Amino acid sequence: MSLNVSFSRIYTFSAAHRLHAPTLTDEENRSVYDKCNNINGHGHDYYLEVTVKGQPDQQTGMVIGLSEMDNKVHSVLEKLDYKHLDEQVPFFRENTSTGENIIHYLWQYLSEQFNEAQLHHLKLWETNNNYFEIKRTTDNMHYTDNVHTD
């Protein structure tokens, strides 16, 4: 009998950004992004939940070793941690640094680090009220955006 087991681990990183779409006017950007369009930008302490899925190794009993997982995730997060995303990360020069695009970036680069289909789900907390999710489905991947406001 084969078991598919999910394992999740939480990571943190800090980054600054400014929500500003170059295809919109300054007035439209202020209307859409409100205070997040501040010309000086703003920062977040992000929480990223990474879930992998697979069959536990017969020798270790684990889906993935903790240090192996940490190394893979940190190799991607170090490109974002303590950076101004729009100014220091090439992906965000072409893509507005919304939570949706940040999680897309993370999925793209984390997928390259893990075995095929091992990366199963990401959940990115931007604030206490806003989080974004993306997960692998049988049709490859599926975005679920969740925004909670009080």
- The pLDDT of 82-89, averaged and rounded, is 98
- Tell me: the pLDDT tens digits for 7-18? 999 999 999 999
Mean pLDDT for the chain? Answer: 91
CA nearest neighbour of 6 among 56, 48, 47: 56
In total, the chain counts a number of residues equal to: 150
- Tell me: the pLDDT tens digits for 16-31? 999 999 999 999 999 9
Question: What is the distance between the alpha carbons of residues 95 and 138, in angstroms, rounded to a whole number?
Answer: 27
pLDDT at 146 (0 to 100): 52
pLDDT at 148 (0 to 100): 43
pTM for the predicted model, two decimal places: 0.89
Question: What is the CATH code of the structural domain delimited by 5-147?
Answer: 3.30.479.10
The domain ranges of the chain are 5-147
The DSSP code sequence of 98-137 is -HHHHHHHHHHHHHHHS-TTTEEEEEEESSSSEEEEEEEE
**pLDDT over 70 at 75, yes or no:** yes
